[in-house]
A and B are shown apart, each in its own frame.
Chain A
Amino acid sequence: MTQEEFKDLFDMHFAPVRNYVFYRSGNSDVATDIAQETFLKIWEKQNAIQPEKVKGLLFKIAGDLFVSHYRKEKRSFQFFKHYLFEEKGDSPEDIFAFNQLKETYEKALVKMPEKQRIVFLMSRVENLKYLEISEMLGLSVKAVEKRMTSALAHLRLFLMK
């Protein structure tokens, strides 16, 4: 793999890999570090890159790195600390309601099983199709659907309280 090829690989896949780790960790710093390490690993190993498998491989490496990182230091999941919204010039009531909603979502995301959360955030934040998610995570589309359904049920529970 030449450096040019490596750069192409990076441009194509860095963002989704980093997002994925963010959905798992709820920490953008951790996500960046791990995504960076993932690409360095690929470069060091220089495995003959099979285009149809590279995406899955990247997600797998990133996932493994996150797990070993997670074991080392347990950082709290704080999605909305790193996920920002455009300021809306709405009334104070609206802002209050919005912040309440954010808090509820945060609680729901923390409690949500990780597998569901990843699928849910990939779908919601990036608007990825189930097929795309299934390819990245090496799952079947059915499994993605199932996780999504569970995630929504989980969310519903929190929002109705």
Chain B
Amino acid sequence: MDDKNLHINNLEEKSKDFFSNGKINWERSEADVWAEIAQKIENKPAGKNVSILSQVVKYAAAAVLFLLLGLGAVTFLYTKSITSLPGEHLLAELPDGSTVELNAGSTIKYHPLKWRFERKLTFEGEGFFKVQKGEKFEVESENGITRVLGTSFNIYARNNDYRVTCLTGVVKVISTSDESVLLQANSHVEIEKGELILKKDYNSEKVVGWKNNLFYFSGTPLKEVIDEIERQYGVTIQIQPELNNRNFAGNFPKKYNVEEVLDFVCKTMAVKFVKQSENVYLIVEKS
């Protein structure tokens, strides 16, 4: 061993010797400290036993709660919307098996996840509803609400018009001004300027003729007839405003093409149609 190592070993021994010879000078003995602790814990009873497991459970509970809240929000906000395009009839099935046949250019919106708790949908256009029996079923449109238990009925909610025809069962129709009427089978109600006009013994079959592509009109403003043709055939028809309120009575099936139908309507109304371009027509007074 060389000198240097000798010196190091020497140092190690020396430091070992040095430090193990003294003792720490405690101002308070262990017994003193215990006496103090014993007094303190006498006054302060042991806290609750918080195990790590209960902490985990706490976090898990928080996580689950958060998840439920999120799920609730999704359930609440998730909206499904079904729209039939012009020229298209659509059968929409709702979660409980109720169905809505949508006439061309109609839209329903509802919350599928909330459906079990609240059968409620917003609706615009024309549709035939077949409602499964159950808790209340509500159809909301801009100009009125229809509330039913289980029945079938037709709603026409376009522009400022709101018409409900009941085919089976009973429905309740509520106007925006909170007036309401109970509608029995084969009765019909229209809301006109906020007022409910009830018609009993209505020919409800004709109202839902559209389902079979049959369109019935009696005393219907020409504008409305033309709008219906526009929707059914997906075309654009312009009409001179002064012709809007001429009343039309008659019916046509959709199996004829748009020009045949226009020809038929125009002949009875003593007007004529001019083809502007593909799918665009203009209706003018016959001169």
Chain A residues packing against B (C-beta within 8 Å)? 1, 3, 6-7, 10, 14-15, 18-19, 22, 28-29, 32, 35-36, 39-40, 43-48, 82-86, 101, 105, 121, 124-125, 127, 152, 155-156, 159
Contacts and interface: CB of A to CB of B under 8 A. Distances in A.
Given A19-B24, A40-B37, A101 B18 contact: yes
Contacts of A22: 24
Nearest to A19: B24
A130 B135 CA distance: 77
Interface of B: 8, 11-12, 15-16, 18-28, 30, 33-34, 36-38, 40-41, 44, 46-51
A82 B24 contact: yes
Given A82-B24, A83-B22, A156 B49 contact: no
Given A32-B33, A85-B21, A155 B50 contact: no
Contacts, number: 84
A9 to B, nearest CB: 11
Contact of A32 (B20, B27, B44): B27
Contacts of B8: 156
Contacts of A152: 11-12, 15
Nearest to A152: B12
A18 B38 CA distance: 17
A32 B26 contact: yes
A35 B50 contact: no
A121 B19 contact: yes
A48 B51 contact: yes
B37 A36 contact: yes
10 contacts: A14-B33, A19-B24, A40-B40, A46-B47, A46-B50, A83-B23, A121-B19, A125-B19, A155-B11, A156-B11
B24 A83 contact: yes
A95 B81 CA distance: 98
Contact of A124 (B16, B27, B49, B50): B16
Given A14-B30, A32-B33, A44 B25 contact: no
A10 B24 contact: no
Nearest to B40: A40
A46 B73 CA distance: 40
B212 to A, nearest CB: 76
Which 10 A-B pairs give the minimum distances between C-beta atoms? A124-B19, A85-B22, A84-B25, A83-B22, A46-B46, A82-B25, A44-B47, A36-B33, A46-B49, A32-B28
A120 B168 CA distance: 96
A105 B34 CA distance: 33
B84 to A, nearest CB: 66
Contacts of A28: 24-27
A139 to B, nearest CB: 21
A125 B18 contact: no
B3 to A, nearest CB: 13
A152 B15 CA distance: 9
Contacts of A47: 50-51
Given A7-B34, A45-B47, A105 B18 contact: yes
A35 B47 CA distance: 20
